[in-house]
């Protein structure tokens, strides 16, 4: 019999924790962001600054809740589902509104949204074969999308020519990385499925 004490059973992580609260807060911020952006009526005044601030704050909570969940062991099934949904609602609403306002071509919005929601759905479907961790390319995509949206939200972008050029360039770069990483995830999903079919008892 071993003299070492038995390790206590790991307690389940409650859904009501600071990381999940921040994720939920991000979801509740979306309608206020939408209202501020539409209420500005493309005057690029203080309401546009409010929309900019809300989006910037929401993006910060996205990083913060992820850091807290990992460092404090607060990862829950609710968080795994709610976090990507919150991200897609935030970025998706921004892109759709840009297109509604005529600031971004609809085809760019559609391509990005189809990729984002499609890959998110696919990751839930293939979880039976294994977990698809976020790649470095996926993280770069997220950063580029956030920077592009912030630049489009910035009132000065629509009055200063060079800022407008930078915003368009970053959005195109974000679109390219979004497509490339989407293809990469499709390949990884196919490989996971093929591995599972070859070794039914294994799971990555």
Q: What is the structure's pLDDT at 81? A: 75
Q: What is the structure's pLDDT at 16? A: 72
pTM listed for this prediction:
0.83
CA of 138: how far to CAs of 133, 143, 146, in Å? 9, 9, 12
Q: What is the structure's pLDDT at 2? A: 42
Q: What is the structure's pLDDT at 6? A: 42
Residue-level pLDDT, tens digit, the chain, 204 residues = 344 444 444 567 766 778 788 888 999 999 999 999 999 999 999 999 999 999 999 999 888 877 777 777 767 766 777 778 888 899 999 999 999 999 999 999 999 999 998 888 887 777 777 666 666 777 899 899 999 999 999 999 999 999 999 999 999 999 999 999 999 888 888 887 777 777 765 555
Q: In the numeric block, which tokens belong to residue 10? A: 């790991």
Q: What is the structure's pLDDT at 1? A: 39
Long-range contacts of 16-21 (CB under 8 A, 24+ apart): 17/72, 17/74, 17/76, 18/65, 18/68, 18/72, 18/74, 19/65, 19/66, 19/68, 19/69, 19/72, 19/74, 19/75, 19/76, 19/79, 20/65, 20/74, 20/76, 20/78, 20/79, 20/82
Q: What is the structure's pLDDT at 124? A: 74
């Amino acid at each position: 019999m071993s003299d070492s004490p038995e390790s206590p059973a790991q307690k389940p992580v409650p859904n009501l924790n600071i990381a999940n609260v921040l994720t939920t807060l991000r979801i509740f911020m979306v309608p206020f962001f939408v209202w501020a952006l539409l209420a500005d009526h493309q005057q690029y005044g203080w309401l546009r600054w409010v929309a900019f601030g809300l989006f910037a704050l929401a993006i910060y909570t996205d990083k913060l809740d992820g850091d807290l969940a990992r460092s404090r062991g607060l990862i829950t099934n609710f968080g795994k589902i709610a976090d990507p949904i919150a991200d897609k609602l935030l970025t998706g609403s921004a892109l759709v509104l840009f297109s509604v306002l005529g600031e971004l071509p609809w085809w760019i919005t559609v391509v990005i949204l189809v990729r984002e929601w499609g890959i998110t759905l696919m990751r839930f479907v293939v979880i039976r074969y294994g977990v698809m961790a976020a790649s470095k390319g996926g993280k770069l995509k997220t950063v580029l999308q956030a920077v592009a949206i912030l630049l489009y939200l910035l009132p000065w972008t629509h009055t200063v020519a060079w800022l407008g050029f930078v915003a368009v360039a970053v959005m195109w770069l974000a679109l390219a990385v979004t497509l490339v990483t989407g293809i990469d995830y499709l390949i990884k999903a196919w490989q996971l499925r093929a591995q599972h079919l070859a070794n039914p008892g294994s799971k990555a």
